Amino acid sequence: MHWLDWLVMLSTLGAIVLYGVYHTRNVKSVQSYLLGDRDLRWWTIGLSVMATQASAITFLSTPGQAFEDGMRFAQFYFGLPIAMVFLCIFVLPIYYKLKVYTAYEYLEGRFDLRTRTLTAILFLVQRGLAAGITIYAPAIILSTLLDWRLSWTVLAIGVIVIFYTVMGGTKAVSVTQKQQMIIILTGMFVAAIILLDQLPEGVGFTDAVGIAGKMGKLNVVDFSFDMSNRYTFWSGMLGGVFLFLSYFGTDQSQVQRYLSGKSLTESRLGLLFNGIVKVPMQFLVLFVGILVFVFFLFVKAPIHFNTANLEIVKENPTTAAQLAELETTYDALFDERQAAVGDMMNALDSEDEVAIASTSDRMNSLQEQDAAIREEVRELINVASNDTAKTKDTDYVFITFVIRYLPAGLVGLLLAVIFSAAMSSTSSELNALATTTVIDIYKRSIVKDKDDDHYLSASKWFTILWGCLALVFALYADLFENLIQAVNMIGSLVYGAILGIFMVAFFQKRVGGLAVFLAAIVAEAAVITIFYLDRIGTIEVAYLWLNLIGCGLVMVLAEIFQAMGIGKRPEPKAS
């Protein structure tokens, strides 16, 4: 990597960390440490909420997703603004009135200690494992393409995050996230500008959009109602609303961000800011992926974006020979595509509908051939690695463009974007894990009567503990590929039930603790069954719908169980 890139990356990251540590040097009480003195303004809250959700893999994976599948992933976020408004109306006032440190604290007052502890533990398990993946996922990609050692990359991300999160607590997380989010948005915007600039002479923005559109990549909105289609307007608006209600309303890593607001007004404005900005931001990130797709129509893309996989294929003489043959075919195909894309541009310029239709068909046919060759390469990788290599390479698409085609200095800026995103989401997770451990478990059920200094110290030690666990998980995650997939799935399996518990708490006032507890267990079993039936192909239900199903089942079953008398205390006998 060029020295200028090192300079830009290290100075950007270093400045953010120093800023965070300097601004939180006076944190001396547990309230300051866990709630940041409740003095944050709406723009800090809004950017902090966005930075918590946007992990590094968001910026690595999302452009790659657009490159392969078009822009339909934008619909995943369609429910978010509605969820933000719902939370502002119904949930924030309750949290503010009770002055809670965690979302789960509220559940004890509403139901019982058992429900609070269960929900807190569910959060700790799911988020504790996820924190390791938040570090591991970008580290494996960066270390592969930049030839860095994975362990050093993991440690570089993890140790810095643990350092400033332990030093300054929740305020350090929020103020660094504000800077990190500014770097992220600037970096992605610059990437889009540079991509347009890197297109061949005579190919402008309108041409790029026209070509991508005719190749079916600008499929932002799909109104078809199909439960098996993962991303449609309806899955985003219905399933997505429930997912985001659960994530932003009950996941402590998000709740803690807006609980540190100066007032209810500031927190509401922060969430509404997220509601307005998030969808356009995702559109921008996806559109960067579309521009990368168009760029690689004019510049030959690698036959497979994960270079480590290609090395495995080349080590085996048989697969190496087959790869060489495929590369020859791929080169010829690229020449043919270049000619075809030139014809398509001429057709678009002349607005000749017949020519546009025929060149579109030709381009789409060539695109299918390109996909077929890439699939054959994946099969070679499977053969050469005995099915141990991960053949999906879309996460490597954007970073390949960044490393190979951006000028010196900007590579460093984009790497700072990736590191910033990894650090911002990890710091929120560690902060939330420590807070939940101290407030909902340690202080509530284990060590109850110590002074403020004790709990402040405990909060710091639990941050270190969770940080070290995340680091260990990240360092050894490549040994447990199946575990990673399982962790990624846990979120979509439990969020619906957790949201259901909170919805019952907010709106079904006559339902008691035992009824909702049993309802959550039955609903969770049903969600896991549906998920399993989908996996084995018996039914087809896209995972976003699981949030709606889980939440709805808890609400309905809790009402039924309560009506059946479950959980009601026996009436005292008349003497």
Partner 1 sequence: MSDQQPDIDTLPEDEQPPILGSWRALYVLVIVLHFVLIGLFYWFTRTYA
- Residues near partner 1 (CB under 8 A) are 74, 78, 81-82, 84-85, 88-90, 93-94, 96-98, 108-111, 209-210, 212-214, 216, 218-221, 223, 233, 263-265, 268-269, 272, 275-276, 279-280, 283, 506, 509, 512-513
Nearer to partner 1, 208 or 433 (CB): 208
Backbone angles phi, psi at 204, to 5 degrees: -105, -170
Burial of 107-142, coded b for 16+ CB within 10 Å and e otherwise, reads bbebbbeebbbbbbebbbebbbbbbbbbbbbbbbbb
Task: Quote the least distance from Cβ 348 to partner 1, whole Å.
Answer: 10
- Residue 91 is classified by DSSP as I
Query: What stretches of 77-112 show up as alpha helix (H) in DSSP?
Result: 80-86, 92-98, 103-110
CB of 532 to partner 1, least distance (A): 34
Q: Which is nearer to partner 1, 115 or 385 (CB)?
A: 115
- Rounded alpha-carbon distances, angstroms, from residue 33 to 26, 100, 174, 431, 553: 10, 14, 12, 9, 37
Closest distance to partner 1 from the beta carbon of 420 (Å): 26
Task: Determine the angle formed by the axes of helices 56-69 and 113-146, rounding to 10 degrees.
Answer: 70
Judged by beta carbon, residue 245 or residue 411, the one nearer partner 1 is: 245
Q: Residue 263 or 338: which CB sits closer to partner 1?
A: 263
In order of 264, 365, 385, 473, the CA distances from 45 in angstroms are 12, 48, 46, 29
Between helices 410-436 and 56-69, what is the axis angle to 10°?
A: 120
∠ CA 268-98-253, rounded to 5° = 55
Angle, helices 103-110/113-146, rounded to nearest 10 degrees: 160
Which tokens hold the place of 73? 């992933």
Which CB sits closer to partner 1, 132 or 210?
210
Q: What stretch of H or E contains 113?
A: helix 113-146
Minimal distance in Å, beta carbon 99 to partner 1?
A: 11
Question: What are the DSSP calls for 155-173, one per residue?
Answer: HHHHHHHHHHHHHHHHHHH
For partner 1, the closer of residues 509 and 573 by Cβ is 509
CB of 61 to partner 1, least distance (A): 21
Q: How far is the CB of 572 from partner 1 (least distance, A)?
A: 17
Output 171 or 214, the one with its CB closest to partner 1.
214
């938040």: which residue's tokens?
134
Could you give the CA distance from residue 553 to residue 520 in angstroms, rounded to a whole number?
8
Q: Is 206 exposed, middle or buried (0-12, 13-18, 19+ CB in 10 A)?
A: exposed
At its nearest, how many Å lie between partner 1 and the CB of residue 285?
14
Our CA dihedral for 265, 270, 273, 278, rounded to 10 degrees, sits at -150
Contacts of 575 (CB under 8 A, 6+ apart): none
- For partner 1, the closer CB: 215 or 415: 215
> How many residues appear in the chain?
575
Structure tokens at 112: 């019982």
Annotate 375-393 with b (16+ C-beta within 10 A) or e (fewer).
Answer: ebbbebbbebbeeebebeb
Of 157 and 208, which has the nearer Cβ to partner 1? Answer: 208
Nearest distance from C-beta of residue 250 to partner 1, angstroms: 16
- Least CB distance to partner 1 at residue 120 (A): 17
Q: How far is residue 560's CA from residue 563's CA, in Å, rounded to a whole number? A: 5
Q: Which is nearer to partner 1, 107 or 381 (CB)?
A: 107
Least distance to partner 1 from the beta carbon of 86, Å? 9
Comparison of 93 and 552: residue with beta carbon closer to partner 1: 93
- Per DSSP, the chain holds a count of helices (H) and strands (E) of 23, 0
Question: Cβ of residue 273: shortest distance to partner 1, in angstroms?
Answer: 9
Smallest gap from residue 271 Cβ to partner 1 (A):
10
- Nearer to partner 1 by Cβ, of 112 and 376: the residue is 112
Q: Closer to partner 1 at the Cβ: 276 or 539? A: 276
**Contact predicate 501/115, CB 8 Å:** yes
Min separation Cβ 93 and partner 1, Å:
4
